[in-house]
Amino acid sequence: MKRSLVIGCAAVALAAGCGTASAQSKFDVLLGGDAFFQGAYVDQDNDNGLRKTEFANRFRLTVTPTAKADNGLEYGARLRLRANNGTSNARTTDYDRAYIFVNGTFGSVQAGVTNGPSDDSGVIGPNIDGISGSPDGFYSIYYGVTSLPYVTGALRTLESGDASTKIVYSTPSFAGFKLSAAYTPTYGSSGTDVNRRKNVTYNDMGEIQAYYKGAFSGVGLEASVAYQFAQAPTGFEDLSSVHAGATISYGAFALGGSYAFSGDSGYANGHTGVDDNQVWIVGAQYTLGPVILAATYTDAKGANVGTGAATAADYARAHIYQAGVTYTVAPGLTTGLEYSYVDNKSGGINNDANIVLWDTRFAF
């Protein structure tokens, strides 16, 4: 019933908004993207012979061909390619966006490989990826030996970051409010993958989100609330995940945070010794000209793996304290320095860490 509603809303909106559209002859092809280079120093309790320093880099290129019909309908497609470090420093090239879209008075529809609504616009506070001191950043890729709670990589709904083949519908914005819904037949599917398997991580995954952005007498408010659900394989708990977050801003100051609760989603039936998946975040930010000062605290607990966690050996609890400064050197060019203290116990092992991360980015 839930998945039928999501698909039905998208289909009705698309049919109602398109009508008969005669396209203009010109197609515009837009190029954009971003790149970063990072250097990190790590001092942790259990390094297992690991080095203390490491570099990482990533380049993303976005290609968006678009056209606009005489009736105002905008349509096109988007592809985002990624070139980055892989496991054991292997060089990889892949994609995480590949979809067609239509935009009109009815709202927008995306169909193809993309993330869910809460991953796209779910609010976790003022500090997001690209701002040093953000829980959405890259400190975790330098943390080794023991695992962080699974939810530290899923700060919004538990599996919204899954870039599988899906359909997403969003309403137009009404007085700052926007509703979105998504449906994914098979978790982990991508591109030309077509199958009707049931014995996978999750099946028939849906997500709905309400988002708001507005201002009152100089006070800005951004907020979101989302719910995600899916069917798990036999023997595992179904996915049920909620997320809510808000940020309040005034002048140069911003304060906000979020809470996500996913219970025992993905755990084996009859599991013991593992707390519910949940994550609290609170963050603050101050902007002074080209400089952004940011601080974040994250409290995360639950399994240290996704589907299949069942015993106390899979339990993890982390307190993460972060602070950073980001400086805009020129339009599209930033550099930042971040410090993260990770207080983590995973699988019965304590592994505290100090991580200093230098991040330089270019966006175009």
User: Which residues are CB-neighbours of 49 under 8 A, at least 6 positions away?
Assistant: none
CA 299 – CA 239 distance, rounded (Å): 21
Burial label for 288, CB within 10 Å (0-12, 13-18, 19+), is exposed
Sign of the CA dihedral with 284 first, then 288, 289, and 294 last: negative
Per-residue pLDDT, 4: 52
CA 156 – CA 162 distance, rounded (Å): 12
One-letter amino acid of 135:
P
CA 222 – CA 121 distance, rounded (Å): 10
Query: Phi/psi zone of residue 263: left (φ > 0), alpha (ψ -120 to 50 degrees), beta?
Result: left
Count, residues in the chain:
364
CA 300 – CA 303 distance, rounded (Å): 10
pLDDT-derived band of residue 243, with 50, 70 and 90 as boundaries?
A: very high
- For residues 11, 226, 222 and 115, what is the CA-based torsion angle, rounded to 10 degrees? -60
CA 179 – CA 107 distance, rounded (Å): 10
CA 244 – CA 169 distance, rounded (Å): 20
Per-residue pLDDT, 308: 75
Mean pLDDT of 179-206: 87
pLDDT-derived band of residue 198, with 50, 70 and 90 as boundaries?
A: confident
- For every residue of 217-229, DSSP letters joined together read TTEEEEEEEEEEE
Tell me the pLDDT tens digit for each residue of 45-95.
988 888 999 999 999 999 999 999 999 999 999 999 999 765 555 677 899
First-to-final CA distance of the chain: 42
> Strand, helix or coil at 259?
strand
CA 22 – CA 258 distance, rounded (Å): 45
pLDDT-derived band of residue 6, with 50, 70 and 90 as boundaries?
A: low
CA 284 – CA 127 distance, rounded (Å): 7
Strand partners, 302: 316
Question: Of 42, 271, 70, which Cα lies nearest the Cα of 142?
Answer: 42
pLDDT-derived band of residue 194, with 50, 70 and 90 as boundaries?
A: confident
Per-residue pLDDT, 224: 98
Strand partners, 189: none
pLDDT cut 90: percent of the chain above it: 74
DSSP state of 195: -
Ranges assigned E (strand) in the chain = 28-44, 53-68, 74-85, 91-104, 107-113, 165-170, 177-186, 203-216, 219-231, 239-250, 253-263, 277-288, 291-303, 315-330, 333-346, 349-350, 353-363
Do the beta carbons of residue 257 and residue 280 sit within 8 Å?
yes
What domains can be seen in the chain, in order of their start residue?
Answer: 7-16+35-58+106-363 (2.40.160.10)
Scanning the structure block, which residue is given the tokens 């899923």?
154
Per-residue pLDDT, 66: 97
One-letter amino acid of 314:
D
